[in-house]
Amino acid sequence: MRVCRMKMIFAEKLSLVFGCNQHVITQAVIFFSTAGGHRSRKCRSKRDSACKKWEEKFSIFACKNMLSDQLLPLYDAFPVKQLHKEYIRAGADVVQAFTFYSTDDKLNLPGHEAGGTITCKELNRQACTIAEKVVGESDVLICGALSPTPSYTEGKGKEAVQREFSKQVEVFVEHDVDFLLAEFIGCIEEAEWAIELLKSTGKPVACTLRTGPVGDNSGVPAGECAVRMAKAGADVIGVNCKFDPTTCLKTVRMMREALDREGLSPFLMVQPVGFHCPEVEMQHEGYGMLPENPFALEPRQLTRFDVHKFARAAYELGVRYIGGCCGFEPHHIRAIAEELSAERGGRLGEGSKKHVPWGGALTSSVLGTNRAKASREHWEGMQPASGRPGHPNLQPKLMD
């Protein structure tokens, strides 16, 4: 039977020491990836054509809300399993079952109608089963996650919202996931309702808002949101999605300062998007405001070296659950693992066995132009160009 390592982590929280053993190391840094919720992917299984048909059928979800991540595993689990495996090999300690936005009220929104053929419970069961198969007997943690509900947006009230959450949580408890996460929540009130329900399971609870320095969608400042999440009982709090690493860390700093003033010390968590988007810092919708979103974001993607800087900055800020959201690829997670390897007693993912950080492998390149770049100095100081003549650095309309 799998050991619930997350419970140990919290039990030992007050004796936090870095680099002594596996458990303490995990306290120090938990890497996580949502494993590409928005990440485009190709079907690579033998049943490619059938798989494509399935994706086409639900293509509306692929661009609207990531539901393809949940629907795909029902039909063909191979691509999803492989995605989990890639992140684990990169160094992720957590596999998050693909349950994003899987609520019955979401599945039945006008224009979606997937709810006619599938329920959130069925989706979540499939997602948990796939995560279990990938994780096996290893010590990788499985996270069951909730997302915001349309019922909240429609003003249906606490009871209706928690009813939607309950249906998902029931499956997570059945599958005995290691911990629960309410993520991408827009308003602190809905976060509090989610935390209350998740705490009733007795499992460790994390909660992240999709908020930036401007505060949540109802105008509550980020610091106050953090205090309210902690007081609601969340063990881990922070932000995910919508904003880039710089902005997310700015928000987490505001949260930490408010928590410090209140004498509260939950674990901190940060999972930014993998794209530079400083001009949307003060927009509630974050990178969703960019004209490039969602299909032309590539020029904004973080380099692995950007992620090294992010991981170090997050660590120095006191964040101990460090990961990525939309746009984070496995090599980004590997960069986090490599940047903070020393803090974990030298621990690295399997994917680092054939990877020399900071371009070190270029020393054996047959090309002199590459050998000249085989140094940390080169990659740390390098300024990536977009390669597009006349390309704007930022979207000026969003800077007002």
Q: Which spans of this chain sit near Zn ion (rule: CB under 5 A)?
A: 241, 325-326
The answer to whether residues 175 and 144 touch, using CB atoms and an 8 Å cutoff, is yes
The answer to whether residues 287 and 293 touch, using CB atoms and an 8 Å cutoff, is yes
Nearer to Zn ion, 169 or 241 (CB): 241
Least distance (Å) from Zn ion to the CB of residue 70? 15
CA 103 from centre of chain: 18
Nearer to Zn ion, 106 or 344 (CB): 106
Computed over its alpha carbons, how large is the radius of gyration of the chain?
20
The answer to whether residues 255 and 320 touch, using CB atoms and an 8 Å cutoff, is no
Vertex 243 angle, CA 36 and 329, to 5°: 25
Vertex 262 angle, CA 256 and 263, to 5°: 85
Least distance (Å) from Zn ion to the CB of residue 49? 29
The answer to whether residues 95 and 88 touch, using CB atoms and an 8 Å cutoff, is yes
241 assigned to a ligand binding site: yes
Nearer to Zn ion, 63 or 356 (CB): 63
| Distance separating alpha carbons of residues 76 and 54, to the nearest angstrom | 9
Nearer to Zn ion, 295 or 353 (CB): 295
Nearer to Zn ion, 212 or 359 (CB): 212
Least distance (Å) from Zn ion to the CB of residue 296? 17
Residue 365 is encoded by which pair of tokens?
């390149």
Q: At what angle do helices 68-75 and 78-90 cross, to 10 degrees?
A: 120
- Strand boundaries in the chain, DSSP class E: 30-33, 94-96, 141-146, 179-185, 205-209, 236-240, 267-271, 321-324
Residue 20: HSE in the Cβ half-sphere, 13 Å Cα cutoff: 8
Nearer to Zn ion, 229 or 326 (CB): 326
Least distance (Å) from Zn ion to the CB of residue 96? 11
Least distance (Å) from Zn ion to the CB of residue 141? 20
325 assigned to a ligand binding site: yes
Least distance (Å) from Zn ion to the CB of residue 37? 5
4 assigned to a ligand binding site: no
Binding residues for Zn(2+), as ranges, are: 241, 325-326
Binding residues, as ranges, are: 241, 325-326
